[in-house]
Structure 1
Amino acid sequence: MPHEIPLIRFGVIADPQYAPLPPNLGLNRYFANSLAKLDEAVAAFNAEELSFVVTLGDLVDRGFENFDAVLARYAPLRHDSIFLPGNHDFIVAPEQLPDVRAKLSMPAPYHHFSRNGLRFVVIDGNEESLFYTAKDDPRRERAVARLAALEAASAMNAQTWNGGISREQLAWLSNVLADAAAAGEKVVVMGHYPLYPENSHNLWEWQELVGLFERSGNVLVYLSGHNHVGNLGRHGSTWYVNFKGMVDTESENTFAVVAIHEDRLEITGFGREESRTLPF
């Protein structure tokens, strides 16, 4: 049966948030334990036939020097590895802020690529935030103003640890979705910050992106991390999957393998991550 053969399979990790620190028991976060969890995830992924493995941000809890220990854990991975940063990845010395994306071997802050007839889009939810840029950067000034407006509106996601995207990136994303539609490609969008359902962890302009995806009609799924308890929603024809945070709990792991079929999305969860079948 053609529907039994997936169009693509890939691995997903969210929020390892490593640091050589004692655990935060109040938040149930065991920063140092993520290295062993990554070893387990890489071994599991190496036993699978995958196109790539994506890590949805927050590789480290803080400290540029901690990236080396995390990235070393990916060295045995036999699949392509795609990284995108989260808010914690920018808790580094100010002069090291421009080096984070290069450290993660990113081709650009936001970008897209095609595999097996699908378009994959990586967005940058850190672009306008309080942590990504120096204090005199115009993007930071816009972030301060945007956060103040959200706070004045009593928005649930008016949080300093969230971020937003520029009008330029929003226009770029709209064009990419239109190009994919013209090419007959369905789309998978990936970012650190959730978009739907409404949540205190959501990207600042989550409603605009949800509306854009609905109008486009070709976004199968949006994948995110950041909210460590995980979440799931559907709006229009798009599924919104928020994966659980690896850093949480002392020993139980969480990661997933995602298979996209013509008619459904199948998530095979490991550890705390749930297995799901989501029809298109």
Structure 2
Amino acid sequence: MPSSDFPLFRFGIIADPQYAAIAPNVAMDRYYANSLAKLAEAIEVFNGEELSFVMTLGDLIDGIWESFDDILPVYEKLRHENLFLLGNHDFAVPVERLALVSARVGMPSPYYAFSHHGWRFVVLNGSEVSTSAPPEGHPHRELAAERLAALAATGAINAHRWNASLSDEQFAWLAAQLEAAEAAGGRVIVMNHYPVYPPNEHDMWDRERIVGRLSGHDNAVAYFCGHNHAGNYGRTGGCHFVNFKGMVDTEKENAFALVEVFEDRLEIRGFGREECRTLAL
């Protein structure tokens, strides 16, 4: 049997649990408290599989700091490596807590990279330059206001306060990660909370430069994100852009995924509302 029939490795994906012990927003179809049971269901499925890790693509909570005390113990039941990145709702906490969010969920730093089987995973902090995540008085808050105003002046569809952008420093780090992986002959999957393609109202403010950088590297094969709870998909150049659906949406239907990595493709096995996809490499 050819080796392409066996994945090199597999991992789990969760997007936007956005848990809070509050009443649902029926108009938006968001059932915040129900995410604990949905997450427990996803972890039960993941624990029945051989996975290298599970990544949550941001918006673990809905802005109430004490929600971490309820949802993080659910993750403790996961038998695989548990990884996080942060979204805008994770930073909707009291301002005095903003600098503590990354450490609260055990992240090594606000953005980071790691490798599996020669593949590099680049994990971005999409909220770095935003109107909500930087601590009060931080230069990134002022820069965010300037970027948002400039984008709004152009009539851009993604000129919203709930979106954000990378600092120039983090963007340079992303470029260096791509170049280092390319020099080593390794493929890259970028993970972020916010989408960048195809054009959508939920995209990063600096989507064009991010897409441009990824398009300039043949080894950048996929970009995984959340934030737009409806989900989305696009491809430009050799890079697949997959926006996973939000777990918090709907009263009872779940949404999470398993990703199988092959030499010639990525196989996404969706559960609940999440779609199954084959991404040719």
Alignment-mate amino acid for residue 202 of structure 2? H
Following superposition, the deviation at residue 68 of structure 1 comes to 1.5
Aligned counterpart, 1:177:
178
Among the aligned pairs, what percent are the same residue? 55
Alignment-mate amino acid for residue 11 of structure 1? G
* TM superposition score normalised by structure 2: 0.99
Counterpart secondary structure, 1:200: coil
Following superposition, the deviation at residue 20 of structure 1 comes to 0.6
> Hey, what's the Cα distance between the residues in 2 that align with 1:69 and 1:203?
30
Matches within 5 A, 1:37-116: 37-116=38-117
> Hey, what's the Cα distance between the residues in 2 that align with 1:133 and 1:277?
37
- 8 Å contact kept, 2:119–2:188: yes
> Hey, what's the Cα distance between the residues in 2 that align with 1:181 and 1:133?
32
Counterpart secondary structure, 1:26: helix
> Hey, what's the Cα distance between the residues in 2 that align with 1:169 and 1:60?
24
What's the Cα RMSD here? 0.7
Alignment-mate amino acid for residue 64 of structure 1? W
> Hey, what's the Cα distance between the residues in 2 that align with 1:133 and 1:219?
29
> Hey, what's the Cα distance between the residues in 2 that align with 1:100 and 1:76?
21
> Hey, what's the Cα distance between the residues in 2 that align with 1:243 and 1:29?
16
Aligned counterpart, 2:145:
144
Aligned counterpart, 1:211:
212
Aligned counterpart, 2:243:
242
- 8 Å contact kept, 2:13–2:258: yes
> Hey, what's the Cα distance between the residues in 1 that align with 2:12 and 2:136?
36
> Hey, what's the Cα distance between the residues in 2 that align with 1:4 and 1:150?
46
> Hey, what's the Cα distance between the residues in 1 that align with 2:279 and 2:122?
20
Matches within 5 A, 1:251-266: 251-266=252-267
- 8 Å contact kept, 2:7–2:261: yes
Deviation per residue, 1:139-186 (Å, 9 max, x gap): 100000000000001111100000100111111110110000111110
> Hey, what's the Cα distance between the residues in 2 that align with 1:179 and 1:95?
37
* TM superposition score normalised by structure 1: 0.99
Aligned counterpart, 2:4:
3
Alignment-mate amino acid for residue 145 of structure 2? V
Alignment-mate amino acid for residue 24 of structure 1? N
> Hey, what's the Cα distance between the residues in 2 that align with 1:121 and 1:256?
19
Aligned counterpart, 2:160:
159
Following superposition, the deviation at residue 276 of structure 1 comes to 1.0
Following superposition, the deviation at residue 134 of structure 1 comes to 3.0
Counterpart secondary structure, 1:6: coil
Matches within 5 A, 1:7-46: 7-46=8-47
Aligned counterpart, 2:222:
221
Following superposition, the deviation at residue 135 of structure 1 comes to 3.3
Alignment-mate amino acid for residue 170 of structure 1? F
Q: Unmatched 5+ residue regions in structure 2?
A: none
Q: Unmatched 5+ residue regions in structure 1?
A: none
> Hey, what's the Cα distance between the residues in 2 that align with 1:77 and 1:148?
42
Deviation per residue, 1:89-118 (Å, 9 max, x gap): 011111110110001111111110111110
